Amino acid sequence: MSFPQSRLRRLRRTPTLRRMVRETVCRVDDLIYPLFVVPGTGRRREISSMPGIFQLSPELLVEEAGRAREAGVGAVLLFGVADDKDDRGNPACAEYGIVQQGLRALKKTFPELAVITDVCLCAYTSHGHCGILRGNEVDNDETCRQLAAMALSHARAGADMVAPSDMMDGRVAAIRRALDEGGFPMTALMSYAVKFASAYYGPFREAADSAPRSGDRRGYQMDPANRRETFREAAFDAEEGADILMVKPALAYLDILRDLRERCDLPLAAYNVSGEYAMVKAASARGWLDEEQVVMENLLAMKRAGADLIITYHALDAARWLKKGEY
Ligand code: PBG
Ligand code: ZN
């Protein structure tokens, strides 16, 4: 049957009817809020290209996590901004390193908060690459060993979940083995399985002070032109023991999210990255976009494409907007 017997506008006529047939929803439980921890006390520095997002010293990090809890957000993704760096990224594995300190502080005040840690060396290496260099190239296997040590130190400091973002081959297996052998078989692993070499990470690199001093990340992150390759990345990480797979960035890669959703049974996360956040904030600050409407539309698009979880700098605002019950 088609028009005029069928009229699709019948179910769009009132807000209640529209809600009844709404296919996708975003829940506050789907949101993960990224946080940046810096050494010291009383430090709160706003990232210039990410208004509303701050580098925070541990006690202020706990305060910000308190705001997340109040808004109903149950999970955070923790990044360290290191003031000591070396060519191997050793400070990333220190028992009292910056992420390890932040973790202990968070878990002490909010034991029920799910704390996920980013596992990558770029914020801790003097050259800014995501791994240990041999000549001009990142040494894959040597880097995997270092990442495993880093993940284990996060588990010891109380991480509920570790999230490797480096894109080395075999790092999920190396980290899983280190966690299991180190006595942390229940520490979960969310893999940045499908991570593209993207210009959308620009603002983040200011936030984490993690830009490569020379060259770029195309030797380890994926080529944005590739789709089939994402299935191999996802399959490897699933086989190596990842509990959750992530696609990153989100908005320019919704097709990939959809494809993976259809092929894979693990929970999927989408990373609504810094550049996506910066674009929305910049345009809405000028009055060119309605921030709330655009953010909720973007988050909904990620859910509709197949994301179970969304890592987003908008998490606190989105949680408040969701409470209104309109979305
Ligand atoms: C570190 C890392 C990056 C992001 C998350 N972890 C940057 C990069 O790979 O250069 C990007 C997050 C964002 O842009 O919001 N490997
Ligand atoms: Zn990195």
> Each residue of 211-250: pLDDT tens digit?
999 999 999 999 999 999 999 999 999 999 999 999 999 9
Each residue's pLDDT, cut to its tens digit, for the chain (327 residues) gives: 899 999 999 999 999 999 999 999 999 999 999 999 999 999 999 999 999 999 999 999 999 999 999 999 999 999 999 999 999 999 999 999 999 999 999 999 999 999 999 999 999 999 999 999 999 999 999 999 999 999 999 999 999 999 999 999 999 999 999 999 999 999 999 999 999 999 999 999 999 999 999 999 999 999 999 999 999 999 999 999 999 999 999 999 999 999 999 999 999 999 999 999 999 999 999 999 999 999 999 999 999 999 999 999 999 999 999 999 888
Nearest ligand 1 atom, CA 211: 10
Report CA(120)–ligand 2 centroid distance (Å): 5
* Cβ atoms 126, 153 nearer than 8 A: no
Locate tokens 């305060």: which residue? 63
In-domain check, residue 45 = yes
- Does the beta carbon of 165 sit less than 6 angstroms from any atom of ligand 1? yes
Q: Whole-angstrom Cα distance, residue 191 to residue 151?
A: 12
| Torsional sign, CA 97, 58, 70, 308 | negative
Is residue 182 a part of any domain in this protein?
A: yes
pTM here is 0.98
SS3 for 290?
coil
The answer to whether residue 185 sits within a structural domain is yes
Let me know if residue 49 belongs to a domain. yes
The residue nearest atom 8 of ligand 1, judged by CA position, is 201
Distance of alpha carbon 275 from alpha carbon 282, whole angstroms: 10
**224 in a domain, yes or no?**
yes
**Do 112 and 158 form a contact (C-beta atoms < 8 A)?**
no
Decide whether any atom of ligand 1 lies within 6 Å of the 207 Cβ.
Answer: no
CA of 249 to the centre of ligand 1 (A): 9
Identify whether 13 is part of a domain.
Answer: no
Neighbouring CB atoms inside 10 A of 95's CB total 9
Return the CATH number at 43: 3.20.20.70
Question: What are the residues whose beta carbons fall under 8 Å from the beta carbon of 81, sequence distance 6 or more?
Answer: 36, 37, 38, 55, 98, 123, 207, 208, 209
Instruction: Please give the residue range of the domain that contains residue 106.
Output: 23-322
- CA dist 100 and 246 (Å) reads 23
Which of 50, 191, 192, 201 should be mutated for ligand 1, with most atoms under 8 A from CB?
201
Catalytic sites, residue numbers? 195, 248
Residues 166, 172, 176, 177, Cα dihedral to 10°: -100
Q: What are the percentages of helix, strand and coil residues in the chain, rounded to 5?
A: 45, 20, 35
Is residue 14 situated within a structural domain?
Answer: no
Residue 17: inside a domain: no
**Looking at the 3D structure of the chain, how many domains does it have?**
1
Which ligand lies nearest to the CA atom of residue 203 in the structure? Answer: 1
Distance 326 CA to ligand 1 centre (A): 32
Q: Which atom of ligand 1 is nearest to the CA of 203?
A: 14
Nearest of 229, 234, 233, 201 to residue 217 by alpha carbon: 201
